[in-house]
Structure 1
Amino acid sequence: MKEIIAVIRMNKTNAMKRALVEAGVAGFTATKVLGRGKLVEDQSVIAERKARLLALAGDEVEPAETEQLVDGFLDGSRLFPRRMFTVMAHDEDVPRIVDAVMKANRTTNKVGDGKIFVLPVLDAVRVRTGEAGDAAL
């Protein structure tokens, strides 16, 4: 038995739900989280992201305030909103589920598509019936 934890972009939530259902996942939990990954060091990527984020803000927001927020995202001092999915799976289903998660969340962006963690689970118990182990999934 394994626990699969996937931390993904917020805008990929619907694609992720569809992918998990299509992969045959019986159930999962999704939580809104904040976090950040490894800092991007490629200055061309940083400049491109900064320009895109500043353009999204438009003229309705104070430019200096917007630039400060954008810089905070890019320099690591602010956290990004993300969605964390938790899936319990039988060992033999893990490769199929991980593949589905990767396909649903891969973008052409050079950073920030997420992470997948696979952990062993010692036991599970279904509260309603008392079934344990694989039968509880």
Structure 2
Amino acid sequence: MKEIIAVVRMNKTGATKQALVESGVAGFTAIKVEGRGKLVTNPTLISDRKKELLMMAGDDETGEAEKLITDFLVGTSLFPRRLFTILAHDEDVTKIVQAIILANKTCNNVGDGKIFVLPVSDVVRVRTGETGESAV
């Protein structure tokens, strides 16, 4: 048994849920979280993304949007994300991980999330007392 932990963009929550259901996942938990990954150090990428985000923000006479975008790009603020946890049989892990990747990969070259796969030593179904693989 494995636990799959996926941290994804908030706007990919629906696509991730659909991908998990379509891949046959028995159940999962989703939690709103905040965090940040590795800082982007490529100045061209940062500049291009800043221009794109400022255009999306529209008119900003107060400068608040530019400050938020700058903080976001240089790493002084946390990003809202969704954390999914899934218990899976060993033979299903690759299929589930691929479904998560397919639902979350973008062309932004940064910030698409992370997936962690961890071993699970035991599971207990509270209602029936079943343990191990049958409790998943």
What CA RMSD, in Å, does the superposition of the two structures yield over aligned residues?
1.0
SS of residue matched to 1:34: strand
The structural deviation recorded for 1:103 is: 0.8
Q: Which residue of 2 aligns with 1:9?
A: 9
Equivalent in the alignment of 2:130: 131
Code of the residue aligned with 1:20 in structure 2: it is L
1:49 Cα deviation after fit: 1.1
Gaps of 5+ in 1: none
Unaligned runs of 5+ in 2: none
Q: How far does residue 62 in structure 1 lie from its aligned partner after superposition?
A: 3.7
Helix, strand or coil for the counterpart of 2:63? helix
Instruction: Name the CA distance, whole Å, in 2 between partners of 1:103 and 1:70.
Output: 27
Q: Please give the alpha-carbon distance, in whole angstroms, between the structure 1 residues aligned to 2:91 and 2:6.
A: 18
CA–CA distance in structure 1, aligned partners of residues 107 and 62 of structure 2? 28
In the aligned structure 2, how far is the partner of 1:62 from the partner of 1:88?
Answer: 48
Moved beyond 3 Å, runs of 4+: none
TM-score under structure 2 length normalisation: 0.96
Cα deviation, 1:34-65, whole Å, max 9, x if unaligned, reads 01110011111101111111122222x44422
Distance in 1 between residues matched to 2:121 and 2:64, nearest whole Å:
49
Task: Give the share of equivalent positions with the same residue, in percent.
Answer: 65
- Superposition pairs for residues 66-85 of structure 1, below 5 Å? 66-85=65-84
**Matches of 1:54 and 1:103, distance apart in 2:** 28
Aligned length: 136
TM norm structure 1 = 0.95
